[in-house]
Amino acid sequence: MRLILIGLVAGFFSALFGVGGGIVIVPLLLLVARWEIRSATATSLAAIGITAIAGVAAYLFHHDVQADYAALLGVPAAAGAVGGAALQQRVNTRVLSLAFAALLVGIAVDLLVK
């Protein structure tokens, strides 16, 4: 039940503000569901995958997706994700939490100055 609410809040706000679901899902899994950060981030990735597939299907219908540009960024990013996930296992969870908090601050500042 709590997870459904988390999903609803994440989907609603990410669509409303044009931000990714992850910056909403991860904090909610941490603070509301009380998951530890590695499960929260890993599960957030899987949830984003489901949401992105649904979103792309809607956009493909309107012909707004440019597959060549998606590959230009998505393929290097997939390689980067291997490194990011490996790095995450080596960083202690406190440092990881603080770094995530710093990322949120960066995004908040970006939203404020936009």
- Looking only at residues 10 through 49 of this chain, which bind another protein when binding is defined by CB under 8 A? 10-23, 25-27, 29-31, 33, 35, 38-49
Determine if 86 is a binding residue for another protein (CB under 8 A): yes
Q: Which residue has the tokens 């990322």?
A: 103
Q: Least distance from C-beta 83 to another protein, angstroms?
A: 5
Residues 52-81 within binding reach of another protein (CB under 8 A): 52-56, 59, 62, 64-67, 69-81
Residues touching another protein: how many (CB under 8 A)?
Answer: 95
Q: Least distance from C-beta 39 to another protein, angstroms?
A: 5
Give the closest residue to 22 by CA, choosing from 44, 2, 6. Answer: 44
DSSP 9-25: HHHHHHHHHT--SHHHH
Show the tokens assigned to 83: 């490194």
How far apart (Å, rounded) are the C-alpha atoms in residues 98 and 103?
Answer: 9
Q: Least distance from C-beta 56 to another protein, angstroms?
A: 5
